[in-house]
Amino acid sequence: MIEKELRNLLSGIKEGKVSIDDAVDMLEDLPFQDIGFAKIDHHRELRCGQGEVIFCEGKTPEQVASIAKVILSKDDTLLGTRASLEHYDAVKTEFPDAHYDKEARCIVLQKNSVELKGNVLVITAGTSDIPVAAEAKVTAETLGAKVQLINDVGVAGLHRLLRYGEEIRKANVIVVAAGMEGALASVVGGLSARPVIGVPTSVGYGAGLKGFAPLLTMLNSCAAGVAVVNIDNGFGAGYMAAMINSLALEDNSK
């Protein structure tokens, strides 16, 4: 397609329909528009870059609101993560339809209702991991994925987890949010034939090293099929899960 556009442009020059000056201008941006085109070609609702999602922490409510305006001028969907109520209030003034998920600390606005599809499972080891899991859930849903959340099934009480064997086996992809020792990712990895995205949380104290202990645990998982994102990065886990879920929904078999 990019080639077709390029040939059209060059034919325009040959035929005298396009001036050389205009062509130079258009060609200068070519490689970058090329990158953009490819992404639009996948009919994605959100662009793949993180730039389109607002990481609100450390920004003022005013900054968040003005970035939101820019995004919504071209996109149908707004996602603001690590947002406080103050951030939400500023956005809401401009966009009264914006919604705030308190647990996930996310601001969401979707101009058109989207049918959620597929099967993303988000699991937490303990109740303190829920905010991170909620952020993953909201992120994946904003990207069109159907998400189920199962809380508080850490390995200290294995029977709680095993009760959800069917959910684990049926999911397209599983996000495991766990702090303390983070063992849940390995255990779920051993129970599932689908990709597991581990998101270590900073839940714990002392030798938990603010999430570094579960991070190392997940990276060293003795079960294959586990990959890891940054500590407390519910957004990243949800994003990755939604990408994988999308692949599962596409028909790429041809």
Q: What stretches of 82-234 adopt beta strand conformation (E)?
A: 99-101, 106-110, 117-124, 145-150, 173-178, 196-200, 226-228
Tokens of 16: 């005298």
- The residue (of 16 and 96) whose beta carbon lies closer to a copy of itself is 16
Minimum separation from the CB atom of position 209 to a copy of itself (A):
7
114 SS3 class: coil
Minimum separation from the CB atom of position 238 to a copy of itself (A):
9
Tokens of 247: 């692949």
Minimum separation from the CB atom of position 96 to a copy of itself (A):
26
- The residue (of 110 and 172) whose beta carbon lies closer to a copy of itself is 172
Distance between CA atoms of 170 and 166, rounded to whole angstroms? Answer: 6
Distance between CA atoms of 32 and 87, rounded to whole angstroms? Answer: 32
Minimum separation from the CB atom of position 11 to a copy of itself (A):
7
Distance between CA atoms of 243 and 224, rounded to whole angstroms? Answer: 20
80 SS3 class: strand
Minimum separation from the CB atom of position 236 to a copy of itself (A):
6
- The residue (of 78 and 240) whose beta carbon lies closer to a copy of itself is 240
Q: What are the DSSP calls for 3-44, one per residue? A: HHHHHHHHHHHHTTSS-HHHHHHHHHTHHHHHHHHHHHTTT-
Distance between CA atoms of 81 and 50, rounded to whole angstroms? Answer: 11
- The residue (of 93 and 165) whose beta carbon lies closer to a copy of itself is 165
- The residue (of 61 and 208) whose beta carbon lies closer to a copy of itself is 208
- The residue (of 31 and 96) whose beta carbon lies closer to a copy of itself is 31
Identify whether the C-beta of residue 193 lies closer than 8 Å to the C-beta of residue 93. Answer: no
Minimum separation from the CB atom of position 90 to a copy of itself (A):
16
